[in-house]
């Protein structure tokens, strides 16, 4: 598709001026077929990152096709109507590009990062990949074998397996609790008809966002994208139907696996969704508990007592729910002590306000990580797409910083009291747990 961009009528939705240094130069345009194009100009860079984002993921799959989103993500790399998989690899290398993709619970993304001078060639490659896959029966059969091996590999990884066991039991009646990869049975059942049907259902303009950031000009870039995506029909013009927010299930799961040297522990509670007004308080609380080397769990369990090498907490927000989970790996003999110390820290953050110094240090850490994380074209491109899909608007760094600074110690304590209730907790243990028995009373219920 190289050469001069073709001019196509477009509808300009919004423009964020870059006249003030603290504002991001973000512009959005909706193409005639409904595809939304987002750009952020970063003229000081020599790179461009661009991605096609699908606003649905594994949690939007019916049970019988669990894993189809991830399978389609793999299949588009098997060749298109104009290029073989080998040709793709060669052409990406020839322009010094970095082509990547991933599937999550709520999104699929295909992205490429490149030198700004190679934009036409890279856009042609990305467009061909997303819009013109062949999905031949032979490729489908081969890829089923590859993904079945990937499932086996992950099942041999205890860190991965404890996460999957926890998720499956935390949202037991919802697709959110199912594995992104699918199961051996579901993946083996995929046919060409299923793959093509699910691809057509997901890859529509209403479910897609094209985002880009780097040394580019919005109008020229939009013209190029419009020409490349002109063949993409508008479809229904509606997003995929969403299920209701899932119910969480407090539980205790002990999975005995004698071959493991360590016990993998996951202790979790429900948490606010991604767009919740409480999200900054939740992120700060998570950082205080287990978000770094100065966190309470790291200092108490690893540094002070040497009971674990890996101990951390993690906030996983989704569009309508979320989880706050503590993960640790320790010897079977130390499992009960690690659990008791973790519960003690969860109780302490509810009972005692965090100190001013600790809260300020955590805010500085969070803001620093956020700013450093937005210094590349790739991170800005991802930020654009995620903010559009979850909020429908874009936040300046000043706006986010102000919201973080507004969180008080009382806010953290109040949210901790709401979330960290023993009756909400789910515990998963994986490993050589021996005759260990746990009840809800052990969690303080």
> What distance in Å separates the CA atoms of residue 237 and residue 25, rounded to the nearest whole number?
28
> What distance in Å separates the CA atoms of residue 259 and residue 24, rounded to the nearest whole number?
52
> What distance in Å separates the CA atoms of residue 116 and residue 50, rounded to the nearest whole number?
11
Q: Residues 420, 282: contact at Cβ < 8 Å?
A: no
Extract the tokens encoding 81: 């109507």
Identify the CA nearest to 179 among candidates 65, 274, 270.
65
> What distance in Å separates the CA atoms of residue 178 and residue 170, rounded to the nearest whole number?
10
CA–CA–CA angle 414, 418, 421 (5° rounding): 130
- Provide DSSP, 110-134: EEEEEEGGGHHHHHHHHHHHHH-B-
Element (H, E) at 31: none
* 421: three-class secondary structure by DSSP: coil
* 25: three-class secondary structure by DSSP: coil
Q: Residues 16, 24: contact at Cβ < 8 Å?
A: yes
* 387: three-class secondary structure by DSSP: helix
Identify the CA nearest to 298 among candidates 344, 442, 307.
307
Q: Residues 418, 84: contact at Cβ < 8 Å?
A: no
**SS3 of the chain: helix, strand, coil, percent, to 5:** 45, 20, 35
- Burial grade of 397 (CB within 10 A; 0-12, 13-18, 19 or more): middle
- Provide DSSP, 246-272: PPP---EEEEE-TT-SSEEEEEEEE--
Q: Residues 210, 10: contact at Cβ < 8 Å?
A: no
The residue annotated as part of the active site, out of 73, 106, 143, 198, is 73
Task: Please give the DSSP secondary-structure letter assigned to residue 360.
Answer: H
Extract the tokens encoding 19: 């006249």
Q: Residues 210, 388: contact at Cβ < 8 Å?
A: no
Question: Quick check: is 410 catalytic?
Answer: no
Extract the tokens encoding 412: 């953290």
The Cβ-side half-sphere exposure at 384, using a 13 Å CA radius, reads 31
The catalytic site residues sit at 73
């Amino acid at each position: 598709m190289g050469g001069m961009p073709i001019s196509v009528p477009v509808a300009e939705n919004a423009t964020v001026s870059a006249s003030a240094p603290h504002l991001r130069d973000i512009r959005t345009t909706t193409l005639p077929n409904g595809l939304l194009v987002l750009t952020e100009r970063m003229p000081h860079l020599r790179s461009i990152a661009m991605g096609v984002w699908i606003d649905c993921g594994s949690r939007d799959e019916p049970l019988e096709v669990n894993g189809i989103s991830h399978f389609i993500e793999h299949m588009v790399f098997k060749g298109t109507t104009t290029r073989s998989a080998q040709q793709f690899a060669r052409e990406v290398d020839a322009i010094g590009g970095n082509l990547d993709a991933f599937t999550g619970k709520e999104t699929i993304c295909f992205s490429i990062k490149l030198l700004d001078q190679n934009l036409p060639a890279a856009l042609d490659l990305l467009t061909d990949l997303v819009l013109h896959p062949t999905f031949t029966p032979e490729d489908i059969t081969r890829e089923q074998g590859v993904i079945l091996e990937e499932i086996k590999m992950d099942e041999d990884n205890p860190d991965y397996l404890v996460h999957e066991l926890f998720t499956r039991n935390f949202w037991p009646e919802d697709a959110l609790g199912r594995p992104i990869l699918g199961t051996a049975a579901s993946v083996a059942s995929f046919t060409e008809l299923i793959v093509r049907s699910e691809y057509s259902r997901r890859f529509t303009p209403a479910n897609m966002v094209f985002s880009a950031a780097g040394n580019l000009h919005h109008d020229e870039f939009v013209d190029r994208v419009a020409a490349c995506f002109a063949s993409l029909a508008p479809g229904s013009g509606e997003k995929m139907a969403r299920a209701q927010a899932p119910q969480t299930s407090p539980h205790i799961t002990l999975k005995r696996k004698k071959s493991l040297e360590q016990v993998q522990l996951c202790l979790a509670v429900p948490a606010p969704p991604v767009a919740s007004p409480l999200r900054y308080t939740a992120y700060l609380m998570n950082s205080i508990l287990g978000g770094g080397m100065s966190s309470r769990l790291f200092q108490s369990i690893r540094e002070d007592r040497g009971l674990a090498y890996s101990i951390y907490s993690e906030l996983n927000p989704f569009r309508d729910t979320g989880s706050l989970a503590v993960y640790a790996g320790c010897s079977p003999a130390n499992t009960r002590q690690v659990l008791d110390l973790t519960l003690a820290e969860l109780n302490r953050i509810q009972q005692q306000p965090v100190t001013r110094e600790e809260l300020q240090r955590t805010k500085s850490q969070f803001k620093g990580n956020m700013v450093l994380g937005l210094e590349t074209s790739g991170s800005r491109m991802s930020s654009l797409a995620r903010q559009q899909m979850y909020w429908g608007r874009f936040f300046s760094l000043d706006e986010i910083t102000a919201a973080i600074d507004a969180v008080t110690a009382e806010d953290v304590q109040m949210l901790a009291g709401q979330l960290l209730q023993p009756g909400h907790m789910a515990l998963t243990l994986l490993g050589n747990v021996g005759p260990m028995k746990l009840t809800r009373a052990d969690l303080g219920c």
